[in-house]
Amino acid sequence: MSEIDALKSEIRAFADARDWEIFHTPKNLSMAVSGEAGELVSEFQWLTPEESMKERLSAEKLKDIKMEIADVALYLFRLADVLDVDLAEVMREKMKINETRF
């Protein structure tokens, strides 16, 4: 099993164990992705671009950011799972499209 598929199946097990209907609805999952992305952007909103670089972030701040990245990723992987989306495939497809655009 690929690394991404392994993660998807761990998240699925987590959702199933809690019988979370909410974890199965693409509409709700898209809201969760967006909500967590909002928390992620909040972490950076008062930093200058320079201050946002890894070497300038405090250990504590970096930890907070990591947790927000994880939250976005968890819901995004779950959304990909419920929609049967092969994440690696669509990412590579989109990069190919971008290559011709930029």
Least distance in Å: CB of 60 to its own copies? 14
Burial of 28 (0-12, 13-18, 19+ CB in 10 A): middle
Footprint of its own copies on 13-72 (CB under 8 A):
14, 18, 22, 25-28, 30-49, 51-54, 57, 62, 65-67, 69-72
Is residue 101 close enough to count as binding its own copies by CB under 8 A? Answer: no
Is residue 7 close enough to count as binding its own copies by CB under 8 A? Answer: yes
Which of 26, 37, 35, 31 lies closest to 69, judged by CA? 37
Q: Please select the residue that binds its own copies; options are 12, 16, 90, 100, rule is CB under 8 A.
A: 90
Distance in angstroms (rounded) separating the CA atoms of residues 26 and 40: 21
Neighbours of 50 (CB within 10 A): 8
- Is 77:7 a contact under the CB 8 Å cutoff? yes
Q: Using CB under 8 A, list all residues that contact its own copies.
A: 2-4, 7, 10-11, 14, 18, 22, 25-28, 30-49, 51-54, 57, 62, 65-67, 69-74, 76-77, 79-80, 82-85, 87-88, 90-95, 97-99, 102
